[in-house]
């Protein structure tokens, strides 16, 4: 296939682009950055365009027309940005992505749209006076693509603008499917981790995601800060597992993914942010520690101090992956400790090589 991959130079995009090329597809990849794809820029089946999709110079319409499949990974996906530049988060994640979807509608091209598990919001257990018999029962935190209700915070907690923009885009794609027969597949990633996830303390992206922040602290001996005590829980998924499932969605055997939403995640890998910090510090001390650099202290910080006004978060989210299992025969293979150790090894090696 001739595949147009937008946002192909990011964390997920770079790994997925590599898989598409390995499988023999011809890929036109678009991104602002090239750092994460430098090793295969010379591949004969890859055309890489370094540009911003918001630029008026690029010809979206003809690129979509000339492709067999469009994969859209473009997003601001960093909580620090949701608070600092919420309007730009909305414009990129909804308005610019909608232009891509509408080009696919015009030319009758299938779209694989990467969304987010953030659309699910909080659990019922997080609500005051929910009256649940057992608030810790995982059933209250397990989210299914087609049946789960969404619970988001108030408008004053504008951290949810990312979730809302992604959710609105999903609803518009669904409407195009109903009214115009548009063929799309929506992917909801659950906390992917692996090499290239972030540049450590990357100034262009602001505060890095939690793994990268902890990794930076370990390498430099600075504090591992737990926002509001690190009680929130996540299910982490290794990027190789995620790409395998994404690849099967690209292949779409028998059209099983047509107009479907699929969670990609590892339900067995639930861990709190505090537990993650402790486990990363334990692995680092055992496998990678430089005796000259002290192990970092784990400290609690208020969310407003760390992120600023308007912060809020999901308390817990476990993916129901029944659809991926049933439609695609996919099963995640990586456990959380192996995910962290493998990803940490990549960053330790890179840090010491460049330092």
Write a three-state SS string for 164-189: HHHHHHHHHHHHHHHHHCCCEEEEEE
In a domain, 92, yes or no: yes
35 belongs to a structural domain: no
Q: In this structure, is residue 34 part of a structural domain?
A: no
CB 149 within 8 A of CB 220: no
- Report how far residue 237's alpha carbon sits from residue 269's, in angstroms, rounded to the nearest whole number: 7
Residue 334, Cβ neighbours under 10 Å: how many? 21
- The reply to whether 94 falls in a domain is yes
Residue 57 included in any domain: no
pTM for the model stands at 0.95
Number of independent structural domains in the chain: 1
List the domain range (segments joined by +) for residue 224: 75-354
Residues recognised as catalytic: 162
Question: pLDDT in tens for each of the 355 residues of the chain?
Answer: 999 999 999 999 999 999 999 999 999 999 999 999 999 999 999 999 999 999 888 899 999 999 999 999 999 988 889 999 999 999 999 999 999 999 999 999 999 999 999 999 999 999 988 889 999 999 999 999 999 999 999 999 999 999 999 999 999 999 999 999 999 999 999 999 999 997 654 444 556 689 999 999 999 899 999 999 999 999 999 999 999 999 999 999 999 999 999 999 999 999 999 999 999 999 999 999 988 888 999 999 999 998 889 999 999 999 999 999 999 999 999 999 999 999 999 999 987 777 5
Residue 166 lies in a domain: yes
E strand intervals along the chain = 2-6, 26-31, 46-50, 69-72, 110-114, 142-143, 184-189, 192-193, 224-227, 233-235, 237-238, 260-264, 270-272, 298-301, 318-319
Any domain includes 10: no
Give a yes or no: residue 162 inside a domain.
Answer: yes
Distances in Å between the alpha carbon of 245 and those of 258, 276, 330? 15, 25, 6
d(CA 137, CA 298): 28
Q: Could you give the CA distance from residue 27 to residue 23 in angstroms, rounded to a whole number?
A: 11
Which pLDDT tens digit goes with each residue over 95-148? 999 999 999 999 999 999 999 999 999 999 999 888 899 999 999 999 999 999
Angstrom distance (rounded) from CA 310 to CA 158: 5
Burial level of 279, CB count in 10 A (0-12/13-18/19+)?
middle
Cα separations in angstroms, 159 against 127, 154, 354:
18, 10, 34
Instruction: Give the CATH number for residue 194.
Output: 3.40.50.720
Number of other residues whose CB lies within 10 A of the CB of residue 339:
23
């Amino acid at each position: 296939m001739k595949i147009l991959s937008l946002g192909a130079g990011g964390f997920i995009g770079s790994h997925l682009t590599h898989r598409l090329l390995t499988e023999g597809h011809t890929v036109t990849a678009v991104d602002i950055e090239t750092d994460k794809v430098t090793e295969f820029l010379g591949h004969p089946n890859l055309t890489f365009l370094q540009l911003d999709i918001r630029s008026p110079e690029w010809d979206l319409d003809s690129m979509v027309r000339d492709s067999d499949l469009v994969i859209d990974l473009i997003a601001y996906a960093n909580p620090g940005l949701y608070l600092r530049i919420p309007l730009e988060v909305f414009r990129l994640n909804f308005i610019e992505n909608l232009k891509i979807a509408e080009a696919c509608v015009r030319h009758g091209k299938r779209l694989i749209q990467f969304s987010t598990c953030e659309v699910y919001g909080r659990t019922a257990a997080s609500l005051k006076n929910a009256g649940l018999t057992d608030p810790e029962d995982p059933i209250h935190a397990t989210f299914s693509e087609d049946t789960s209700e969404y619970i988001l915070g108030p408008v004053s907690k504008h951290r949810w603008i990312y979730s809302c923009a992604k959710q609105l885009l999903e609803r518009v794609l669904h409407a195009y499917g109903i009214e115009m027969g548009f063929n799309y597949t929506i992917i909801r990633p659950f906390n992917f981790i692996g090499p290239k996830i972030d540049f450590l303390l990357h100034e262009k992206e602001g505060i890095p995601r939690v793994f990268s922040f902890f990794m930076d602290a370990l390498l430099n001996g600075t504090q591992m800060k737990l926002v509001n005590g690190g009680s929130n829980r996540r299910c982490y998924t290794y990027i190789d597992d995620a790409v395998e499932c994404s690849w099967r969605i690209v292949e779409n055997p028998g059209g099983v993914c047509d107009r479907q939403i699929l969670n990609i995640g590892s339900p067995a890998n639930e861990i709190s942010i505090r537990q993650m910090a402790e486990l990363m510090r334990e692995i680092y001390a055992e496998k990678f520690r430089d005796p000259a650099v002290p192990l970092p202290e784990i400290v609690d910080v208020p969310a407003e101090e760390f992120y600023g006004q308007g912060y809020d978060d999901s308390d817990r989210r476990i993916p129901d992956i029944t659809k991926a299992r049933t439609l695609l025969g996919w099963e995640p293979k990586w456990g959380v400790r192996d995910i962290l150790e493998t990803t940490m090894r990549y960053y330790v090696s890179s840090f010491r090589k460049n330092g």
